[in-house]
Structures are given as structure tokens and as C-alpha cells.
Copies of this chain bind each other. A is one copy, B any other.
């Protein structure tokens, strides 16, 4: 039951993009360099976010990534699902149908109690992540950071941020 490293990277990258002015973006290499992680692998996560409609990509010179919708509309679950997939963590293989006392398929319309319990637990997990948006994360970071650190970030952004064409 491990959440892949890519989720951590994708959330950090998305949080960074949430801090950009409207219509501006960052290229994959910049996001990777900022977080000190391999460029190509970070690019892979951004690709997944793009497929999920969380970020918009622009190719070619002065290309890059930016959020596809407001930070208030992007939850941590959205990002997690984009990277890890939407499927359940607990996969019931219906072993109650196996063996000498196996049930017939027709008697298994309802999910087994064990699968139901895990399904309920995963719902609690999802709901908790759905309640946290990139806007929340950004606000908390601003509140908890030293002013000089925020200043460092601003300066770095000014040197790396890219203007993106409006119609990708």
C-alpha cells in the first residue's frame, strides 16, 4: 500500500503552478530543477496531469505547463487519481467463489462484507483528500513561510516563468 513518488512531485509542481499569474506557465525542466528531481521523470507526471485535464500544455519554444482550471477546483485527490489511477486500492478477487464451499456467481450480486469495509475506508480517504485544494495548500505555505523564503521563490519565478499563448 504505497503511494508512488510521482504523486508527491505532481502535487508540489501543481502547487507551484498555482502561484503563477494568470496565463503564465513553467516548462517541465524548470519544475524539475526547482524541486531537485530528474527532469524526464517529472515530465512523465506532468504528462499524466495533462491527460487528466488538470494542466494545459503548450509545445514548442516558450512552451510549458499551467493549470487548466482555478486552484480552488483542483483537489489533492484529483492529482492522486491522475497519477495512480481511479481504481480501488483493495481489489476483491471474489475468492468466496473458490474452493469446496465456493458460492455460485448468482449468489454474489452484493459485494462481500470484507470488500465493502475496504471500500468504505477508501471512500473516507478520498473524501479527506477531496477537501484539500491547491488553494488551501498555497495559502498555508504563504502563512507558514519566512518572508525571505517567499522572496527567494519570487525571484526564481521571475527568471523562469514563461508567458504562454492563450490558445494551445
Contacts and interface: CB of A to CB of B under 8 A. Distances in A.
Contacts of A41: none
A51 to B, nearest CB: 18
Contacts of A124: 124-125, 127-128
A104 B122 CA distance: 35
Interface string A50-70: 000000000000000000000
Given A8-B92, A76-B117, A120-B128, 17 more contacts: A1-B2, A3-B118, A5-B91, A34-B100, A35-B99, A36-B102, A100-B152, A100-B156, A101-B152, A103-B149, A107-B146, A110-B144, A113-B136, A117-B128, A117-B129, A121-B126, A125-B125
Interface string A23-49: 000000000011111000000000000
A36 B117 contact: no
Contacts of A149: 101, 103, 107
A31 to B, nearest CB: 10
B34 A101 contact: yes
Interface in A136-153: 136-137, 140-141, 144, 146, 149, 152-153
Interface string A61-104: 00000000000000010001000110001111101101111110
A1 B100 CA distance: 32
A124 B126 CA distance: 9
A14 B30 CA distance: 51
Q: Which interface residue of A12, A34, A84, A121 has the most chain B CB atoms within 10 A? A: A121
